[in-house]
Each structure stands twice: as structure tokens, then as C-alpha cells.
Amino acid sequence: MAGLDQLKTHFTGLIKGLSWQILELASKLDAQNKIMEDQKTVLDAQDKTIMELKNSLNDLEQYTRNSNVRINGHALSAKTDKTDGKQVLKDVYETLLVPILNLAVDAGEIDNVPPMETLLEYGHVLITEKADLPSSIIIRFYSRYYRSMVFRYKLAFLNPAKCRSLSSTMDNPELNLLTSQPSVISMTYINEDLTQATYIKLKDMIKERDDVKRAWTLNGKIRYITNEDNDVKLLKNVF
């Protein structure tokens, strides 16, 4: 019996020792989990800060482009030197901007079409690998008001039929619609000069989101209408 009591005492001691070890390991594991949770909280906060910075930088870049327009599909005259910014400006001014702004004159929104030198700051042709298509052209206005007049009356010049269709369904004529049809004659688009991030997000909303009925940009900000209602919503962040 004495031997059994000794053996029992021995095993009881071992069990107590193992129990303390288990409790100690559990405590260490809890402490390690707490450290990992704290680190995850820090990482999540850092990710949020990074996203906020990326959105702020994109907003800042977009703001610097808000005096620009991007023209796609416009074939410059054969006499126009694409490497000469002044010749590019003259071509676009005479063939596109003057006719469009004359519509604003006719509507009484502006008194006259300003001379090219006071209307446009600069222009350049973007390099493209698609030799069969006209290169995109970036034009910068001195005045955002005249730029807004171009957006207001562009469809009336490029595609009157599409303009009438849109005006019957939407209240704001100053829209940058990727889904708008170009002129059947010139195949010219005049859109806002969007950052890459904003353009990709806008394209994604138009083509990938089934709940979005229509999306566009106004002054570089994405606005959209869902299938649920006709309320115009503002997308605050592209990231």
C-alpha cells in the first residue's frame, strides 16, 4: 500500500506540474495572440492611411487636370505638325472648339468665341502604338468656364441626335459619358482628362457593376445612377 501511495503522490505531482506548464503555455499563447491582434490593428490602420493617401494623391492629380480635355478619334489635318503644340492647338481650335462654342454664343451663354491665344494654354498629341487610329490630344484651357461650355454643347455639334436623346433623360448636360456615341462622321470623343485610376474605376463601374445603370464624371468626380432609383450618387474614393 505504501508503494501505491508513493506512486499516486508521484503521478499527482506530475499532473500538477503538467497543468502548470499547460497554463503557462496558454498564457503565453494568449499574450502572443494579443500581440498579433495589436499588430493586425496597426496594419489595418496603416492600410487605411495608405488608401486615404492614394485617394488624396489621385484627387490632387485629377484637380491639376480639371482645365484639360482629352480628344479621341479626331484626325488632324495632314498639314498639321503633330509635334508642334501651336499647330495642334490651331487645328483643334478651328475644327472643333470654334463650332462648338458658336453654339454657346447662339444660346446667349457667351458673347463671342475668344481668340485661340486667350482660350487655350497648350496642347499636345499623345504617343500611341495604334497607327491606324488618330492619336489622343490633350488640350488645356485658361478658363474652366469655357471648358464647361465645350462639354455642354459638344454633343449638339458632334451628334445632335444623341444629344436630344440624352437631354430627354438627364438633367445635367455637362457630362463626361464614356457610353456616349461619337459623331457618325468624325468619330470624335471629347472627354475629361481623367487620371488612370479614375478612368479604370469609371470603366469598371460601367462594364462590371450590374447594379449601375449609368456612370459618368463631372470635374473629375465619378457620379452614377443605380437600377434601384434615379438619384445621382457621388463616388468619393476610387481606391
Mean pLDDT taken over the chain: 86
163-208 confidence digits (pLDDT tens)? 555 454 444 545 554 444 444 345 899 999 999 999 999 999 999 9
Low-confidence winner among 11-25, 112-126, 140-154 (lowest mean pLDDT) = 11-25
41-78 confidence digits (pLDDT tens)? 898 999 999 999 999 999 999 999 999 999 999 999 99
pLDDT of residue 77: 92
Most confident of 12-16, 22-26, 111-115, 160-164: 111-115
76-95 confidence digits (pLDDT tens)? 999 999 999 999 999 999 99
pLDDT of residue 227: 92
138-153 confidence digits (pLDDT tens)? 999 999 999 999 999 9
Q: What is the 3-state secondary structure (H, E, C) of the chain?
A: CHHHHHHHHHHHHHHHHHHHHHHHHHHHHHHHHHHHHHHHHHHHHHHHHHHHHHHHHHHHHHHHCCCEEEEECCCCCCCCCCCCHHHHHHHHHHHHHHHHHHHHHHCCCCCCCCCHHHHEEEEEECCCCCCCCCCCEEEEECCHHHHHHHHHHHHHHHCHHHHHHHHCCCCCCCCECCCCCCCCCCCCEEEECCCHHHHHHHHHHHHCCCCEEEEEEECCEEEEEECCCCCCEECCCCC
Q: What mean pLDDT do residues 133-139 have?
A: 91
Alpha carbons 40 and 46: distance in angstroms, whole number? 10
